[in-house]
Structures are given as C-alpha cells and as structure tokens.
A and B are shown apart, each in its own frame.
Chain A
C-alpha cells in the first residue's frame, strides 16, 4: 500500500500558517536538513492518531502527547523490555499528531531482551491485583495533591503572615514553583497511567490473536465480550444520574428538574423547596468524584467536566426521569449481560477440539480478565478526574496572565506551549516584583491572534490517515488494538482517501462494534453538547464518544464513530444495551449528514446511506 511521503505533505504549508512549527516542541518536526533523520522518517510508517486527536492540537495541550510519548515508550523499552519493540515516535503536521512504533531490528538484541521481559512483565502479571490496588492508592493521592495545589495571585502587598511567620518566600516565587508542580503532577500522573497499560493491552491483543487462530472468523467484538467487565467505573457516572433521577421521583421534585434545561434556574428553584434541598444533598455527594467525568476525551482543554457544565448531566437526569415516568426500566441488564457473556464463552470453549488448546484458552482468558478492569477503569482516574481538575487549575494560571495583561482572555493560555507559559510567568513575576510592566503584554497578544488564525486553518485541513511506508508486520500491542491498524482499516482508509467527492459515497465500512441492524435518521454530533438534539431511535454519528455521552445512549437506536476499535466506549456501551455500533469508520462525520436515512449493520461493520 502506498502512502504519501511525510516531507511532501509537510512541504505544502497552508497559506497564512508559515512559521507554525514554533507552536510545538522542535523534535516533533519532519526535517530535511538532517540526512539520517530524514531517511528514518521517510522509511517509517506514520499514522494519524485520530482516536486521540480528532482535532488539531493546541500548543499547551501538547503536554499530554509528550507525557504519553515518554511513558508508553519508557515502559515498553526501558522497564518491561518488550523484546521486539521500543517506543512509539511522534511527529506533528499542521497540528495533527502522527505516531510510529519503533521496532527492535537486531534479532540478537530481541533475544537478549526476552528473559528480562519474562521476568519483569511476569512479575506484574503474577501480582497484578495487588499492584493494581497499590496503583489506585497512588493515583488518588496524586489527584488529592493536585486538588490541594494552590495557584497564588500576586497581591500588591504580601500578607502579614509572610513576615510574622518568617516565611522568607514570596507568592511570586510560589506561583513559579507551583506552576512547575502543576506540570510535574501532570507528567507524573501519566507515568502511572502507563504502568499497567502496555501489559494490559498485550494480554488482550494476544488473547484475541489466539482465539482468532482457533476461530478465524470470530468477530473481535465477541472476544471483547468474553472479557469485558460488568461493573466498571466507566458506568458509574451514568449510574449516578439514574440514582438521582429515581431520587427525584421519590422526593416528588422531578417536575422542577425537568422544568428547564438551564441548571442555574433549576438549582435556584430546588433551593426553595425542602425536598429540593434534600435532593441537592444527594447531588453534591455524587458530584465528587463522579461529575469530574469529562464531556470529551479529557485530552483537550475545551473538554469540560459535568461539574463545569451542569446542563449536561441535568439533561441526562431529565431523560431518565422521562423514562421512569413512562415506566421504562433504567436498570442495566447486568444479569442478562453476565449470563450471555458466560454462555458465549462456554460455547466457544466447547468448540475447541484439543485439550492443549483448551488449557491455553483458559490461561489467556484468565489473564485477559485480570487485566481488563484496569484497562477500562484507568480512564476515569486519569483522563477524566485528574484532567478535569488539571484544566481548571491551568485556567487559574491563565486568569493571572490575563490580570497582568499578557493575554487578553483566560482561554488564550492554550495557545502557548508550557515552557512559553513558564517564561511568561517569569516575565510577569519579575515585573510584579520590580513594579514595571511585563514585556509580554506587547508581544504575546499579537502572536496569539496569529496562532488562533493558524488553528482555524488547521481545522479545515484533512489529515491523511497514513504517511510513509507501511511495514509488513506490526509488533507493538497498542498500535494493533487501540488504533485499529489492521490490513482492513488501512485499505479502507486508503479507499476513502481516493474518493474525490464525499457526496458520492453511499457505502461505508468500519469495525463491527456491536451486533444487530438498525435503520433510521442520522444525526451528526461533533460535541457532547449537541446530543440534546437527538430524537428517539436516531443514529448517532460522532467523532468518538466517552462516558459523558451516556445520556445519548438512552435515546439512540445505533451508533457510528470515526475512530475507535472494539474496545472503544461506543462499542462497549452499545453491546451492553444491545444496539448496533460501527466504529473506526475513519470519516463518517464528514460523509454522513444529519437527516440522511441510513442502515447500520453492527454485525458486519457495513453502513449504507439509503437517502
């Protein structure tokens, strides 16, 4: 399969964005002036990470890309010594992230790494449950540290306590230090994020591999169904909404809650009623930590949590109240899901012919089931809870920068890289200390205007799904599972690339995420804010979904996403609710328009546009 040369793609600079490279760390550029690096970049396979980055990256948001660039790679290459792979390399073109797994080429080196891997990975697999329990403690401690971190304002006069307690340090100094602490906590959190993830994905990917050897036609969604947890944290925020809906009906305050989509109105009305106050108490218990759930992936600064956007969970609660009033049960069919999962597992196991294979199946299944809870749950701790708090702390930093005139709007802070923010803070703090105006007030605002325009232009650009030279074999587990880099998806992506006119496309393919067939009207929702427009039985078409999109799943008849594999949120939730899902289509949100009549076949992954 032929894909464009990376440097050719980069060379076609979008007019008006010349110089965009300064918005990202220097090592993320495809280069032409270094022959060795240039050749390496040409010979390698880079694919656009649309799963994590459906939109171009803002300069500050690059922090997470750098964090997992480091963490994933270090665990593969320096800690667990995964024999045939090193880390995953990253580049950026026009704000879009491209990644590439780096193989170990020397067979002897691979051989040398094997015993280390067996010992180190073996230790983690053997002691998984105990280590995971320790991890939870570590993560919660990190999040508490983050929540407690203060971003001090710079006062005209420091507090008297600085003198009486002989502190010997100014708030200016603390602002600088605490900004570093904030960034370091973020990086540390991501170190923990990857402590188990590579091994978790390896266990999953090779269970899938083994089952596919036994049963070549088995759909991956069924394999995931055999190991998926029932009570994962991911469902808990949604469960809280249901609990609150039931409580509202119990207390008789449901008419107040469904009265308005505006939380401020509803809250004010509830405060006036004794039962309303009771309900608000229940709500506040649920908000920490469950409403920290992000309405997006948590990776972008604009992903706000339910706590920041109470209208979103409010609409979810209202939907559930509506269902309760209709007499529809809100209960997740856990018994049914569990028994169906067990039945399917037993039947597949029963089809295995020889004892050795059966033993291998049991061992791999057991391992996959042990690791899967972490794989599913870590998202809530990191991308939701930690990130939601983190973004808001950064907004406090932005507020200080705005106060001192270096940026015009708090939300402008994202246009600066994290080291640029550090420099700007030095500028501000020394200027504050000295009693002069920071230089940045004259330089940053114009630069930010230009950068905002660059981001707008980046958003219009269509990132080619893959560039460079595709390898024969991929050995890095993430690459295989998470981004669906398989023979099939590459061919599908390449095919969509070749179509000149998106309006002429009537058939789309993706991964069969959840079985069944549904026909109906499509509704394209690019952000979770739009799910309120969904009507009963419509088909949701989204770039990707996350647990905060839960209220949508109560209404729709099927779901289609641009990115994701069988382990993606949309696939897991749709399987649970028994509705079809086709995920990882590549460009569904660009090809399907709201109002089109479409047919979704979640068993084969085929989508047909009928009108």
Chain B
C-alpha cells in the first residue's frame, strides 16, 4: 500500500498520477533533480552517481515542503500575517518574521510525512551502524527561488543533529528560514509570489571530521587553471567556510599532483562536537595543535586527485567542501560534502596572453621589449 498522498491522488483523478515523492535519497537524484530537491541535494546526487565518496543522506523534497505548508493551513496563516506588511519598516518586519517562524516551527508534519522521514532516517542509521546517526540538516534552494533563498541562507545548516525528533525540528527550522526579515522584504520588493516558493531540506550523515575545509580546482587568487587550492582546519569545515579562522593553505599542481606550496597558519579555533551536549560548538584550538599541519601530505594528494576527477566530470572549475572522517582508515576516509561550479573566474573572459599572429618570434620580441619585473 502506498502513501496516503498517493492514495488520494489515485482516487481524485480516477487514475494513477505520478505525484512526486516527499522524500528522496541523494543517490536517486541527479543534477536535473533541482526542482525536486534543490541545488545542494541534486549536486550531491550527481556526485554520488559520478562515483565520488559522499556521506549518504536523503532530502525532504519540495513536494514534502508544499504538503507541509498546505496541511493545517500553515500557508494561509503565513499569507494573512504577511498581508499589509511594510517592506520598509525593518523593526516591524523582524517582529513579523519571529511570529511566522515560530508558527512554522511549532506545527508538526502530517503523520505520513513524519513516517516517510523517519523511515529514511532509520535506514540511514542502519547504513551508518549508528542508531541515532548524527546528521547535518541543510536547506537546499531550488532554481526558482534562488534569489530569495540567497537571503534565506543565514541559518540553514544545522550540524550534529541526532534522533528523529531533532531531525524533524531542524527541518522545520530550515523551512522557516525562508521567512527571515530580509527574505520577506526582498520578495516583497521584487513582487515575488510566495505561492511559487519551494525549498527542500537535505539530511546527510555527518562526517565526524578530524580535518575539513574547502578546495578549488582553479586558483581563487589568480584564476590559474593548472592548480588545485586547498584550505583546511581541524574539526568541522564551518570554521573555514565561515572565514572565522585563517586555515592551512596548500597549492597542488593539478597535472602532476605534487604539492607546490604549503602555508601552515596559526589556527586559533575550530568547530567540534561537545560530548556532553552532543552539539557542534566553536572551541579554542589546543595550543599544541595551532601550528600543526592539519592535513597530511598523503591526504592532500588524495583530495586533490578527487578534485581533479570532479572537475573532469563537471567539465568546469569547481568549488568543493570536504572532510576527513576520524572514524575511518586512510584510503577511505576523505569525503566530499558539497561541490558546485566555481563562479568568479569562470565568469571572467580571459584575454589572450599571446600575440595576434601567434608566431614565436613575435612573442619573443614582445617579451624582450617588456622585460621582467624585478624587486
């Protein structure tokens, strides 16, 4: 017997219509799954399909979101609260946002949605061999509301969430982040119709990061396509992504995979799990670790190789988040958490570095006349 929704669809239309599912495993997604699971989850599915090592997970789809907002008239209530909101009055918007978010976060999912999510979480726990498997709960914006979602991005990642109740709670928090004051104002100003708004929420097994960070398959400072740049810190990658710490910096030759630059920084903090509260916290870096190379050479090489394969698969420079899992042995412990096309250099059109005709002599002459800067 299928889900209640499916049964309703069957009876209403007198025939089986293919309603989208409310939950979807990442591995069943591809890059064209964006309308269903949003950009982040679609990308993870694409990576898994390409053979990249990604922590498993599932998404509450946009269909699940729509069902949630429709059930119990949440969407209606939100609309009426929004009516007459003055986009210019920030203080009022803040109060409004608080009310809407509290509303959303206090309403339960319908039983069938809860069951679907719980079943996925249970299966995820089985795969991870951990009953209350720690997960990251993240919003995954869809293309249609990407502009709006850029403002919803503030608190859309929750780390080290354990247990189904917490998972559902943080899902609601991700959904409610659509209604921050700025997001409300932005959509009001642009005349955005909230009815077409949709969001997905990803639930992914957390890599228990010993070290994590970001990787670019193009040099972010000079657009050099022949290198891979890696920034790393101990603990969860958030310290690097958020810019709260000066990470260790490595430049790897993409063609030969040797490490051509190594800068070990003075790392003063990191994010780790507080054992007592089972939450992710920012802590001061123990003194003896502050100047230690957070990613060892073998890991750098393996990670760079993975970045090279990902770039090859997507056919463009990529911006990647990764983690080295504490619990797993070398050779199987580096995970890709996210990968998206790099946007800065790819958008620039590179002027030709050569001469008009391309002859060697013309270039040699041009070079001689220009000379090399010294000092």
A residues with a Cβ closer than 8 A to B are: 1, 82-85, 110, 114, 117-118, 121-122, 125, 202-203, 205-206, 209-210, 213-219, 222, 344, 347-348, 351, 353-354, 356-357, 359-361, 363-364, 366-367, 470-475, 477, 480, 485-487, 490, 512, 515-517, 603-604
Q: Which of A82, A117, A222, A485 contacts B374 (CB 8 A)?
A: A485
| Distance from B231 Cβ to chain A, minimum over Cβ atoms (Å) | 15
CB-CB nearest in chain A for B351: A354
CA distance A83 to B370 in the complex (A): 11
| Distance from B352 Cβ to chain A, minimum over Cβ atoms (Å) | 4
Q: Does B354 contact A (CB under 8 A)?
A: yes
Residue among A82, A202, A206, A357 with max Cβ neighbours from chain B (10 Å): A206
CA distance A517 to B293 in the complex (A): 16
CB-CB nearest in chain A for B352: A356
| Distance from B28 Cβ to chain A, minimum over Cβ atoms (Å) | 33
Q: Which of B355, B360, B371, B374 contacts A490 (CB 8 A)?
A: B374
CA distance A167 to B227 in the complex (A): 74
Could you say which residues of chain A place their CB within 8 Å of the CB of B296? Answer: none
Could you say which residues of chain B place their CB within 8 Å of the CB of A205? Answer: 367
Q: Does B261 contact A (CB under 8 A)?
A: yes
Contact check, A475 vs B251: say whether CB atoms are below 8 A apart.
no
Could you say which residues of chain A place their CB within 8 Å of the CB of B259? Answer: 603-604
| Distance from A72 Cβ to chain B, minimum over Cβ atoms (Å) | 15
Contact check, B258 vs A125: say whether CB atoms are below 8 A apart.
no
CA distance A216 to B227 in the complex (A): 9
Contact check, B367 vs A356: say whether CB atoms are below 8 A apart.
no
Beyond the given A121-B361, A219-B260, please list 17 additional residue pairs across the A-B interface where CB-CB is below 8 A.
A203-B364, A210-B363, A215-B224, A215-B227, A217-B226, A217-B253, A218-B253, A348-B255, A351-B225, A351-B255, A353-B350, A354-B350, A359-B354, A364-B363, A471-B374, A475-B371, A603-B259
Known contacts A84-B369, A351-B225, A353-B225; is-contact A364 B261 (Cβ 8 Å): no
Q: Which of B260, B353, B365, B367 contacts A214 (CB 8 A)?
A: B353
CA distance A344 to B257 in the complex (A): 11
Contact check, B360 vs A215: say whether CB atoms are below 8 A apart.
no
| Distance from B256 Cβ to chain A, minimum over Cβ atoms (Å) | 7
- By Cβ-Cβ distance, the 6 closest A-B pairs, closest first, are A360-B354, A475-B371, A367-B360, A215-B226, A473-B371, A359-B358
Contact check, B219 vs A83: say whether CB atoms are below 8 A apart.
no
Contact check, A363 vs B226: say whether CB atoms are below 8 A apart.
no
10 A-B contacts, Cβ less than 8 Å apart? A110-B369, A117-B365, A205-B367, A348-B226, A363-B359, A367-B364, A473-B370, A473-B372, A480-B372, A512-B260
Q: Which of B253, B350, B352, B373 contacts A473 (CB 8 A)?
A: B373
Q: Does B344 contact A (CB under 8 A)?
A: no
Residue among B350, B359, B375 with max Cβ neighbours from chain A (10 Å): B375
Contact check, B368 vs A217: say whether CB atoms are below 8 A apart.
no
CB-CB nearest in chain B for A121: B361
Q: Does B254 contact A (CB under 8 A)?
A: yes
Could you say which residues of chain A place their CB within 8 Å of the CB of B354? Answer: 210, 356-357, 359-361
CA distance A117 to B353 in the complex (A): 22
Q: Does B127 contact A (CB under 8 A)?
A: no
| Distance from A228 Cβ to chain B, minimum over Cβ atoms (Å) | 15
| Distance from A204 Cβ to chain B, minimum over Cβ atoms (Å) | 10
Known contacts A203-B364, A359-B358, A363-B359; is-contact A217 B260 (Cβ 8 Å): yes
Contact check, A219 vs B253: say whether CB atoms are below 8 A apart.
yes
Per-residue interface assignment for chain B, residues 211 to 236, with 1 indicating a CB less than 8 Å from any chain A CB and 0 otherwise: 00000000100101111000000000
CA distance A485 to B371 in the complex (A): 13
Per-residue interface assignment for chain B, residues 247 to 272, with 1 indicating a CB less than 8 Å from any chain A CB and 0 otherwise: 00001011110111110000000000
CA distance A528 to B258 in the complex (A): 31
Interface size on B, residues (CB 8 A): 38
Could you say which residues of chain A place their CB within 8 Å of the CB of B370? Answer: 473, 475
CA distance A472 to B373 in the complex (A): 6
Could you say which residues of chain A place their CB within 8 Å of the CB of B372? Answer: 209, 473-475, 480, 486
| Distance from A393 Cβ to chain B, minimum over Cβ atoms (Å) | 39
CA distance A473 to B375 in the complex (A): 8
Q: Is the interface of A mostly helix, strand, loop or mixed?
A: helix
| Distance from B73 Cβ to chain A, minimum over Cβ atoms (Å) | 54
Contact check, A84 vs B371: say whether CB atoms are below 8 A apart.
yes
Q: Which of B224, B352, B364 contacts A217 (CB 8 A)?
A: B224
CA distance A344 to B251 in the complex (A): 18
| Distance from A18 Cβ to chain B, minimum over Cβ atoms (Å) | 35
Could you say which residues of chain B place their CB within 8 Å of the CB of A214? Answer: 226, 353
Q: Which of B219, B225, B256, B373 contacts A344 (CB 8 A)?
A: B256
Could you say which residues of chain B place their CB within 8 Å of the CB of A213? Answer: 353
CB-CB nearest in chain A for B225: A351
Could you say which residues of chain A place their CB within 8 Å of the CB of B255? Answer: 222, 344, 347-348, 351
Could you say which residues of chain A place their CB within 8 Å of the CB of B226? Answer: 214-215, 217-218, 348, 351
Contact check, B260 vs A603: say whether CB atoms are below 8 A apart.
yes
Could you say which residues of chain B place their CB within 8 Å of the CB of A202? Answer: 364, 368
Per-residue interface assignment for chain B, residues 329 to 344, with 1 indicating a CB less than 8 Å from any chain A CB and 0 otherwise: 0000000000000000
Q: Which of B219, B258, B368, B374 contacts A206 (CB 8 A)?
A: B368
Q: Which of B262, B361, B373 contacts A118 (CB 8 A)?
A: B361
CA distance A219 to B255 in the complex (A): 11
Could you say which residues of chain B place their CB within 8 Å of the CB of A217? Answer: 219, 222, 224, 226-227, 251, 253, 260-261
Contact check, B352 vs A486: say whether CB atoms are below 8 A apart.
no
Could you say which residues of chain A place their CB within 8 Å of the CB of B371? Answer: 84, 473-475
Known contacts A219-B253, A222-B253, A603-B260; is-contact A475 B352 (Cβ 8 Å): no
CA distance A603 to B251 in the complex (A): 11
CA distance A265 to B95 in the complex (A): 101
CB-CB nearest in chain A for B367: A206
CA distance A470 to B359 in the complex (A): 32
Contact check, A363 vs B358: say whether CB atoms are below 8 A apart.
yes
Could you say which residues of chain B place their CB within 8 Å of the CB of A118? Answer: 361, 365
Contact check, A209 vs B258: say whether CB atoms are below 8 A apart.
no
Q: Which of A351, A470, A480 contacts B375 (CB 8 A)?
A: A470
CA distance A84 to B372 in the complex (A): 12
Contact check, B368 vs A84: say whether CB atoms are below 8 A apart.
yes
Per-residue interface assignment for chain B, residues 16 to 60, with 1 indicating a CB less than 8 Å from any chain A CB and 0 otherwise: 000000000000000000000000000000000000000000000
CB-CB nearest in chain B for A512: B260
CA distance A604 to B297 in the complex (A): 13
Contact check, B256 vs A366: say whether CB atoms are below 8 A apart.
no
Contact check, A604 vs B374: say whether CB atoms are below 8 A apart.
no
Residue among B365, B367, B368 with max Cβ neighbours from chain A (10 Å): B368
Q: Which of B260, B353, B363, B368 contacts A82 (CB 8 A)?
A: B368
Could you say which residues of chain B place their CB within 8 Å of the CB of A475? Answer: 368-372
| Distance from A181 Cβ to chain B, minimum over Cβ atoms (Å) | 37
Could you say which residues of chain A place their CB within 8 Å of the CB of B363? Answer: 206, 210, 360, 363-364
Contact check, B367 vs A216: say whether CB atoms are below 8 A apart.
no
Contact check, B374 vs A360: say whether CB atoms are below 8 A apart.
no
Known contacts A347-B255, A354-B350; is-contact A472 B374 (Cβ 8 Å): yes
CA distance A604 to B363 in the complex (A): 29
Could you say which residues of chain A place their CB within 8 Å of the CB of B253? Answer: 217-219, 222, 603
Contact check, A203 vs B360: say whether CB atoms are below 8 A apart.
yes
CB-CB nearest in chain A for B373: A473
Contact check, A516 vs B258: say whether CB atoms are below 8 A apart.
yes
Could you say which residues of chain B place their CB within 8 Å of the CB of A209? Answer: 367, 372
Contact check, A364 vs B258: say whether CB atoms are below 8 A apart.
no
Contact check, B361 vs A216: say whether CB atoms are below 8 A apart.
no
CB-CB nearest in chain B for A351: B225
